[in-house]
Structure 1
Amino acid sequence: MNLKQAASIGDLRELARRRLPRMVFDYIDGAAGEEITSKRNRVALDEVCLIPGALVDVSSRHHATKLFGREVSFPAIVGPTGLNGAFWPEGDVALARGAARAGIPFVLSTAATVRLNPFLKVAGPLRWFQLYMMKDRGLVEAFLQRIFQSGFNVLQLTVDTSVSGRRNRDIRNAFTLPFRWTARNFIDSALHPRWSTSMLRSGPPMLRLFEEIAGAPPRGATISDVMQQQLSSSFTWKDLEWLRARWRGYLVLKGISTEEQSRRSMDAGSDGIVVSNHGGRQLDGTRSSVEWLPRIVDAVAGRMTVLVDSGFRSGNDIGKAIALGADGVKLGRAALYGLAAGGEEGVVHALAIIKAELDRTMALCGASSIGQLRGRVDGVGAASL
């Protein structure tokens, strides 16, 4: 199977698995602890049941919607992921260009492996930025100033990382930054010559954006350790006022999981939230995002934008989220499998698969527009709240 033959995100996952050394593939594919929450994300989505439509004119279907005042071609966002240069040279650039070609936003991560100016030369107009709240607020202010001046108008603050998740696969694989070349990792890399050659040409991935703004590259025993050095464990709802006062664009909180949290987000001046369990990569043993979604949508009652992520792998999944009341879906691993399988073209292919699946889901649910998918769902299955 080659890239053009890949019919699903599952096919792209298999191509990525073949191309990448195990330590790198496991970083994409893995999750926290025993990966219970990661598995639950998938099970819960599978249990959501859509309602088929019949005898409805769906000969003309429209996928576009608006997010934070800007039109997007369909209700998806390529979400923030770190260390993308480990999967493909200049991975952040490939993801951004793929998203721009698809007409959807790309969220640049604090843990990007590209410097800002090269990124801005190729990024599309729908630029969002993801921020971790760090211990050094002076550094946070430096990030805010730089990204606002660079045309980013949506800031996504990740709020479920007071400490980093314990990711057992990374520990077993000794996946570090910079790479730690154990005998096993060296042999595994040698068995994946296409990846190894590309890394030799481009150089090892580093947190270039952080290094550019902070002035020094972070290091640690694992990727989680690298981020743990920087993350604030004391940032609270009250402190959120400090951030809101310093950011002039749209503010989105990522990692919301209860009705109370969603209400407090509104009270704090947030323009949107992401219902998320971080793809199962933080607290293992929680409910899936899609289980939380209906109650949060009810609590928000249309007063702010509600996005969702964690476990979404198809256009059918996006259709379920829209039917349950979400305004859009953030894609993580789905885009990364495409990236690892074929760079920018792999990202474009992944997004094209998802959009085509969403189009067919709309037609079979009797929906000619995104808005008409609302309510076309029969409960949240056995895993419902």
Structure 2
Amino acid sequence: MIHGQHSIADFRETARRRLPRFVFDFIDGGSGTENTLAENRTALDRVRLVGSAPTDISSCSQSVSLFGQRYDRPIIIGPTGLAGAAWPCGDVDLARAASAHNIPFVMSTAATATMEAVAAAGNGAKWFQLYIFKDRAVSKRLVAKARDLGFGALEVTVDNAIPGRRLRDAKNGFSLPFRWSPAKLASLAAHPGWSLRTARAGPPRLEVMAAELGLEKADTIAELMQAQLDPSVDWEDIKWVRDAWDGPLVVKGMLDPGQVAKALEIGVDGLVISNHGGRQLDGAIATIDILPEFRAECGSRLTLLVDSGFRTGSDIARALCLGADAVQVGRATLYALACGGEESVSHALSILGSELNVAQMLMGARTVKDFDQSMVRCRLAPENPEPTATAAAAPRQSGHLSTAAENTHGALPYPAPQASRKREFQASSKTNSERII
């Protein structure tokens, strides 16, 4: 039952109260000092939205086409491992909620449900997120299975050559299977709802990886991944996946726009600009800051998705203005999942859709394609309010917003936008995002 959640922040607070600390911290935490986790939010807040009135917004649509399929919103539930720790059958509930809202759900290789169970959950689009294992035969079997079960697209995660140092997990002794210490047992007593649900359903298990790798236990999730994932993965491995998969292929975990040329050469269909939600490289750039450079590099030739830190419909509007075709959410729907399973996830998606609708109408964007860089201004960071000549020039060359003089009210400067590149990209008659599955 849903009680009082009116924002993703409300869902996070409810999840914090309802989950044992070691489970909440696994979902909520980042790597190292959690600097990237904080910067994702700070960077989004620097992007300010420009309202446009009067504009006829009596008829608005959030519909978007991705890889030739039409969806109701530019939102995707991205791959999140161990969802069953938040709620029993969590992956299935996420898939069902996505189906009800006609948006894609991306199943993680680290899911706590079988691929068959997720494929059968609702009639909506399911994509599969693939890790490339040291044993390539495992990855090959997963690709074949995804094809046989009707998964519509493949997302290959590439930013995990080494696991980030997730200190909250280390301090809490988070492991699979769960190992019970006096502190954890006390936490169970303090969270009877979660404890009873978990007791009835059984502890979460990485079903896909267990079936393929015969896993029994690991000290931490990071150690499990380090033991199984291959740090030698490069573009030749992506080419191998491209040859094995004839549907839309997306590479997830991109932060370097210089890699775009290689992705185009191999024939990738899309990229997910991602810092893994702040869970890998501590100190990494926020995805909203680097997103315009990716759009400038690829033009209309790639579908660009973005994740890491998106919590509101206004955040989604920011990404659409700066070149994203859609936004993947992860923690947002995990917080909701922990509050009540499928029903709560559905409510969270409705909130995001409503918030996006408010931003869309007040910004004068009748369709998702109407969002562009002219609708935002990017405030400079307080620690560097006056850009140098070099710093001012570099963003213009790489696709960022150009600089402008400080406003008359003494606030931090807001750069004026370049002439919108996005409309130029949309003029192309055929793009990868229109390719039919």
User: TM-score of the superposition, structure 1-length normalised?
Assistant: 0.97
Q: Hey, what does 2:338 align to over in structure 1?
A: 340
What whole-Å deviation, never above 9, does each CA across 1:183-225 have from its counterpart, x for those lacking one? 10111111100000000000000101222234x1252111111
Residue pairs, 1:260-339, within 5 angstroms: 260-339=258-337
Q: In 2, Cα distance between the equivalents of 1:7 and 1:230?
A: 40
In the alignment, is the contact (CA less than 8 A) between 2:107 and 2:118 conserved in 1? no
Letter in 1 for 2:113: V
Letter in 2 for 1:267: E
Letter in 2 for 1:124: N
Q: Hey, what does 1:377 align to over in structure 2?
A: 375
Q: In 1, Cα distance between the equivalents of 2:123 and 2:185?
A: 37
In the alignment, is the contact (CA less than 8 A) between 1:220 and 1:226 conserved in 2? yes
In the alignment, is the contact (CA less than 8 A) between 1:324 and 1:377 conserved in 2? no
Give aligned pairs, total: 383
Match of 1:247 among 233, 245, 248: 245
Give the CA deviation at 1:123. 3.7
Give the CA deviation at 1:49. 1.0
What whole-Å deviation, never above 9, does each CA across 1:125-150 have from its counterpart, x for those lacking one? 31100011110001111101111100
- Secondary structure of 1:122's match? coil
Q: What is the percentage of aligned positions where both structures have the same residue?
A: 45
What whole-Å deviation, never above 9, does each CA across 1:303-358 have from its counterpart, x for those lacking one? 11000000000111000000111000000100111101111011001100000000
Q: Hey, what does 1:129 align to over in structure 2?
A: 128
In the alignment, is the contact (CA less than 8 A) between 2:95 and 2:105 conserved in 1? yes
Q: In 1, Cα distance between the equivalents of 2:145 and 2:152?
A: 12
Letter in 2 for 1:78: I
Q: In 2, Cα distance between the equivalents of 1:372 and 1:239?
A: 37
What whole-Å deviation, never above 9, does each CA across 1:66-108 have from its counterpart, x for those lacking one? 1111111110100000001110000000100011111100000
In the alignment, is the contact (CA less than 8 A) between 2:50 and 2:377 conserved in 1? no
What whole-Å deviation, never above 9, does each CA across 1:209-264 have from its counterpart, x for those lacking one? 222234x1252111111111110001112232222111111110001112211222
Q: Hey, what does 1:227 align to over in structure 2?
A: 225
Give the CA deviation at 1:376. 4.1
1:153 is the counterpart of 2:152: yes
In the alignment, is the contact (CA less than 8 A) between 1:31 and 1:281 conserved in 2? yes
Q: Hey, what does 1:13 align to over in structure 2?
A: 12
In the alignment, is the contact (CA less than 8 A) between 1:256 and 1:262 conserved in 2? no
In the alignment, is the contact (CA less than 8 A) between 1:135 and 1:231 conserved in 2? yes
* Unaligned runs of at least 5 residues, structure 2: 382-394, 401-437
Q: In 1, Cα distance between the equivalents of 2:198 and 2:229?
A: 28
Between stretches 303-312 and 375-384, larger displacement belongs to 375-384
In the alignment, is the contact (CA less than 8 A) between 2:37 and 2:278 conserved in 1? yes
- Secondary structure of 1:5's match? coil
Give the CA deviation at 1:116. 2.2
* Unaligned runs of at least 5 residues, structure 1: none
1:205 is the counterpart of 2:208: no
RMSD between aligned residues: 1.3
Q: In 2, Cα distance between the equivalents of 1:376 and 1:352?
A: 27
1:85 is the counterpart of 2:80: no
- Secondary structure of 2:58's match? coil
What whole-Å deviation, never above 9, does each CA across 1:161-186 have from its counterpart, x for those lacking one? 00111100000000000001011011
Q: In 1, Cα distance between the equivalents of 2:124 and 2:364?
A: 32
Q: Hey, what does 2:170 align to over in structure 1?
A: 171
- Secondary structure of 1:25's match? helix
Q: In 2, Cα distance between the equivalents of 1:218 and 1:310?
A: 31
Give the CA deviation at 1:372. 1.1
In the alignment, is the contact (CA less than 8 A) between 2:106 and 2:126 conserved in 1? yes
Letter in 1 for 2:337: L
Q: In 1, Cα distance between the equivalents of 2:348 and 2:259?
A: 33
What whole-Å deviation, never above 9, does each CA across 1:9-66 have from its counterpart, x for those lacking one? 0000011111100000001100000100010000000110111111101011111011
Q: In 1, Cα distance between the equivalents of 2:378 and 2:71?
A: 27
In the alignment, is the contact (CA less than 8 A) between 1:208 and 1:217 conserved in 2? no
Q: In 2, Cα distance between the equivalents of 1:32 and 1:93?
A: 27
Q: In 2, Cα distance between the equivalents of 1:123 and 1:136?
A: 32
Q: In 2, Cα distance between the equivalents of 1:159 and 1:310?
A: 15
Q: Over alpha carbons, which structure has the higher Rg?
A: 2
In the alignment, is the contact (CA less than 8 A) between 1:218 and 1:226 conserved in 2? no
Q: Which structure is higher in RCO with an 8 Å CA cutoff and minimum separation 6?
A: 1
Give the CA deviation at 1:270. 0.6
Q: In 2, Cα distance between the equivalents of 1:292 and 1:234?
A: 25
In the alignment, is the contact (CA less than 8 A) between 2:119 and 2:126 conserved in 1? no
- Secondary structure of 1:274's match? strand
In the alignment, is the contact (CA less than 8 A) between 1:175 and 1:222 conserved in 2? yes
Q: Hey, what does 1:120 align to over in structure 2?
A: 119
Q: In 2, Cα distance between the equivalents of 1:290 and 1:117?
A: 35
- Secondary structure of 1:252's match? strand
Q: Hey, what does 1:188 align to over in structure 2?
A: 187
Q: In 2, Cα distance between the equivalents of 1:135 and 1:380?
A: 42
Q: Hey, what does 1:32 align to over in structure 2?
A: 31
Q: In 1, Cα distance between the equivalents of 2:357 and 2:194?
A: 34
